[in-house]
A = this chain, B = another copy of it.
Amino acid sequence: MPFDYIPPLFKKSSAKIVLLVMDGLGGLPMQAGGDTELETAQTPNMDRLAAEGTLGQTIPIRPGVTPGSGPAHLALFGYDPIQYEIGRGVLEAFGIGLHVGKGEVAARGNFATLDAQGNITDRRAGRIPTEESKPIVEKLKQIKIPGIEIDVEVVKEYRFALVLRGPGLSSEIHDTDPQKTGVPPLPAEAYVESARHTAELVNQWIKAAHEAIKDEPKANGLTLRGFSTDPELPTFKDSYDLTAACVAVYPMYKGVSKLVGMQVLKFSGDQPADEFAAVKAAWNDFDFFFVHIKKTDSMGEDGNFAGKVGIIESVDAALPGLLELKPDVLIITGDHSTPCLLRSHSWHPVPFLLWAPSSVRPDTQTRFGERFCAAGGFGTIPALDTIPLALAHAQRLIKFGA
């Protein structure tokens, strides 16, 4: 259980919580003396919530650690990613909607380019676009290995996910990626005796796969990494007594939500207003809504400052559609920072806004932005505190002790 002391405090309640995550929200000024993306954006709705609510900034994993999207979301959900280690293969598979159940094994695949001697010349097959890798993955789908079921799906560009299902499988298998060029891919090797059978099956599959793609100009080889199985995380319901829904456009975030037992809602459209409409449609069926906005992160990775500002402003503009549902607690935050300046995820603290009309304590801040959050009423807190704070402000917990 993420917080052993929380379940004994559960209180029956119909209070509703919305966790609105703008991926990679945190930013940096593009030059000394400037403002960040969020500080630059015109956000009258969020500023009002900031004035009425409490601000803070969160540390996603640990100070100085730049999180990947999977670990960052697990932390937001209260599952310490240092404690709950989740394999790369499982995250990748869940991310594209492939389920990995107990005893099933997932791996992340990379297409690679091999020379005539079978040595790797490019570990990412020239970063072939998704459209090119799709038909290659179709060839891989034809491969059958007696005794097991196999799922293969494209993830993005040169990446794919592989899931094996069958009796007696183990994930304790080394990566086949040698992490360098000029050498061939490694065979799958078990690091415990009980995984030898699985390693043999994987090697059969690798052999057949290399045969199937040998004439591809770029993706004529592959490596497998992050063999892993279902981490069997405690569910949101058990951990927080919340029936939880996920509203997200991208598969990765749906996958992480499923890992903790959220129900992934189907809806059409991919704009903030569409996502808020999906929340509205399911409003009576859940206690908790995780709403994920992807494009803040994409713009950050592209170094598109104006684009990221625009996405934040579009979320703000759509916000009245969420507020009219009268959530008891609304948290607006990110999973990590993706400053346009760095064009990548970063370790910087993440802006955090909690609004709860019937229970929140106001601080001195009146605008939503990094430097206001750093001076906010919550101070600097671990992202892990997010759900406990949401539960408290929703008044869904009784007191601890007499």
Q: Does A370 contact B (CB under 8 A)?
A: yes
A72–B400 alpha-carbon span in the complex (Å): 9
Across the interface, do B28 and A52 meet the contact criterion of CB distance under 8 Å? Answer: no
Across the interface, do B66 and A392 meet the contact criterion of CB distance under 8 Å? Answer: yes
A32 partner residues in chain B, CB cutoff 8 A: 52, 357, 362
Q: Does A123 contact B (CB under 8 A)?
A: no
A91–B401 alpha-carbon span in the complex (Å): 9
Q: Does A381 contact B (CB under 8 A)?
A: yes
Q: Does A101 contact B (CB under 8 A)?
A: no
A397 partner residues in chain B, CB cutoff 8 A: 64-66, 347
Across the interface, do A402 and B69 meet the contact criterion of CB distance under 8 Å? Answer: yes
Q: For the complex formed by this chain, how many copies does it contain in all?
A: 2
A376 partner residues in chain B, CB cutoff 8 A: 374
Across the interface, do B361 and A66 meet the contact criterion of CB distance under 8 Å? Answer: no
Across the interface, do B3 and A62 meet the contact criterion of CB distance under 8 Å? Answer: yes
Q: How big is chain A's contact interface, by range?
A: 35 or more
A66 to chain B, nearest CB (A): 4
A361–B345 alpha-carbon span in the complex (Å): 14
In the complex, chain A residues 358-389 whose Cβ is within 8 Å of any chain B Cβ: 359, 361-364, 370-371, 374-381, 385, 388-389
Across the interface, do B377 and A62 meet the contact criterion of CB distance under 8 Å? Answer: no
Residue in B36, B71, B391, B399 whose CB lies within 8 Å of A400: B71
Q: A362-B371, A364-B375 are in contact. Are A401 and B67 (CB under 8 A)?
A: yes
Q: A65-B5, A65-B9, A378-B380 are in contact. Are A359 and B342 (CB under 8 A)?
A: yes
In the complex, chain A residues 16-68 whose Cβ is within 8 Å of any chain B Cβ: 28-29, 32-33, 36, 52, 57, 61-68
A343–B342 alpha-carbon span in the complex (Å): 45
A95 partner residues in chain B, CB cutoff 8 A: 402
A254 to chain B, nearest CB (A): 15
Residue ID in chain B nearest A384 by CB atoms: B63
Across the interface, do B359 and A364 meet the contact criterion of CB distance under 8 Å? Answer: no
A388 partner residues in chain B, CB cutoff 8 A: 62-65
A398 partner residues in chain B, CB cutoff 8 A: 66
Q: Mark A81-114, 1 if CB is under 8 A from B, else 0.
A: 1100010100110010000000000000000000
Residue ID in chain B nearest A65 by CB atoms: B400
| Interchain Cβ contacts under 8 Å between A and B, 19 examples | A5-B61, A5-B62, A32-B362, A33-B362, A57-B379, A61-B400, A63-B388, A63-B389, A66-B397, A67-B401, A68-B399, A68-B402, A69-B402, A70-B401, A71-B401, A81-B400, A88-B402, A342-B359, A363-B371
Footprint of B on A, CB under 8 Å?
3, 5-6, 9, 28-29, 32-33, 36, 52, 57, 61-72, 81-82, 86, 88, 91-92, 95, 252, 341-342, 344-349, 357, 359, 361-364, 370-371, 374-381, 385, 388-393, 397-402
